Amino acid sequence: MMDRIQKALTEKGKKAFVPYIMAGDGGLESLKEKLLFLQECGADAVEIGIPFSDPVADGPTIQKAGIRALNNGTTLRKVLEKVQTFKAEISIPLILMTYLNPLVAYGIKKFAEDAADAGISGCIIPDLPLEEEDFILPALDEHEISLIRLVTLTTPVERIKEIGSRATGFIYAVTVTGITGARNNFSEDLAAFLSSVKNVSQVPVLAGFGVSNAEQVREVYQYCDGVIVGSRIINLFEQEDLAGIKQLVSTAEGISLT
């Protein structure tokens, strides 16, 4: 049976577009406005970053957004409380991207309860190893929150197969070796990598890290089911270029799933 994220990414029959924003960047009061705008633009889901002091996977743009959010007093608890107030207006899945430390500090069971109350559909935890998932998975499963797992260009084939067999929501395929941020081009191995992940996945495969313009989105769409765009979306919001965001999100229109 499909979970909510998987259903949302496939029911329209087109490639998926998932923007990333940093909660609290520009003030926590702006979160609702940004989410509703992205929903109106046609985003299939939204990844919400939780600011953290030691973001090992984040590039300069997202790090700076996280610092701005932390300076605004943003915390995981405040984000969930804020989303809870307007969850009825959100019809697309919301996916939290956070590190393990804030979850441990919050309390795993309490986090899962509060995230479910806020209408959160999924969770991405970049520093949670596959071998340690049992630490948090039962609490997420109890509240039907999908754990989104990541694979990279350097992930061994057998491990990709194992991740593929466990996957819920979608598999997050990291398109670069390194941290988030815009890239001029992708590895020559990208097509083979994404194809290999799709071959073993029972859920959609979305590519992220380094995807920053419509041309790159269309290029990556050839090999997977959708993309996640973060740094570029953050920059466009900072520049108040809403038309640019709308145009980028609309890249998926007319490109059907195969």
Helix (H) or strand (E) holding 163: helix 157-166
Question: Where is pLDDT greater, at 82 or 61?
Answer: 82
Active site residues: 47, 58
Please give the C-alpha separations between residue 138 and each of 61, 108, 109, 113, 251, in angstroms, as whole numbers.
33, 10, 9, 12, 37
pLDDT at 243 (0 to 100):
97
Q: How many domains does the chain have?
A: 1
Would 119 be classed as within a structural domain? yes
Would 257 be classed as within a structural domain? no
* 129 exposure class (CB count in 10 Å sphere: 0-12, 13-18, 19+): exposed
- What's the pTM? 0.94
Indicate the residue type of 197: V
**253 has pLDDT over 90:** no
How confident is the model over 3-59, as pLDDT tens digits? 999 999 999 999 999 999 999 999 999 999 999 999 999 999 999 999 998 877 677
pLDDT at 177 (0 to 100):
63
pLDDT at 182 (0 to 100):
47
pLDDT at 179 (0 to 100):
47
Q: Please report, for the domain that includes residue 63, its CATH number.
A: 3.20.20.70
Structural domain including 124 reads: 4-252
How confident is the model over 117-176, as pLDDT tens digits? 999 999 999 999 999 999 999 999 999 999 999 999 999 999 999 999 999 999 999 987
- What does the mean pLDDT of the chain come to? 92
